[in-house]
Amino acid sequence: MRPIAENLFTSEDPPRLIGGRERETGRVVFPLPQGDRYEAYPLSREGTLWSYTIQRFRPKSPPYAGPETFEPWALGYVELPGETIVEARIANVDFDNIEIGMPLQLTVAVLDRPDADTVAIPAFEPAENAA
């Protein structure tokens, strides 16, 4: 399995997402923008759900690189305390059990491209899954 892009995940085990910290203001963003204005800033693996939706139809290709056979997936904005709110898949949870405020932790989801090249994208799952 390979990440969908370079410089998204740290090489730690388990990995963290690589955000960017604006040198002048300390503002944290994701992903790490190119250029000198931001320095790499590994983000917290734990957060809470800030908002979400369920993607019920297959997005247009291009740019969407997921499989032709579409299964709805959950998309969330996850608040990482003191850092930023990150947009990512919400994985390993029934749609009916998703609630704003629920504790989440970083994991990866599989984009499962049509060319069978297995690609990992950032995702969060309920924190209790680890317990």
Partner 1 sequence: MSDVCIIGAGIHQFGRTDGVSGVDQGVAAVRSALSNAGVEWEDIQFAYGASDAAGNPDTMVDRLGLTGVQFINVRNGCAAGGSALFSAQMAIRSGEYDLGIAVGFDKHPRGAFDAKPAEYGLPEWYGEAGYMVTTQFFAAKIMRYMHLHGLSREALGRVAEKAFLNGAITPHAWRREPIDLETIMQAPMISDPYCKFMFCSPGEGGVALVLASEKKARELGCTPIRLKAATMRTRPPGSFEVFAPSVDIERGGTATGLASKAAFETAGIGPEDIDLAQLQDTECGAEIMHMAENGFCGDGEQEKWLIEGRTRIDGSLPVNTDGGCLACGEPIGASGLRQVYENVIQLRGEAGERQVPDSPKTAYSHVYGAPGVSAVTILER
Q: Which two tokens stand for residue 106?
A: 């970083």
Asked if residue 42 binds partner 1 (CB under 8 A), the reply is: no
Cβ atoms of 79 and 47 closer than 8 Å: yes
Which amino acid, 28? V
- What is the rounded distance in angstroms from the CA atom of residue 7 to the CA atom of residue 47? 21
Cβ of residue 49: shortest distance to partner 1, in angstroms? 10
Asked if residue 87 binds partner 1 (CB under 8 A), the reply is: yes
Cβ of residue 50: shortest distance to partner 1, in angstroms? 7
- What is the rounded distance in angstroms from the CA atom of residue 27 to the CA atom of residue 82? 10
Binding site for partner 1 (CB under 8 A): 4-5, 8, 19, 27-31, 50-57, 59-60, 62-66, 73, 75-77, 79, 81-87, 89, 95, 100, 111, 121
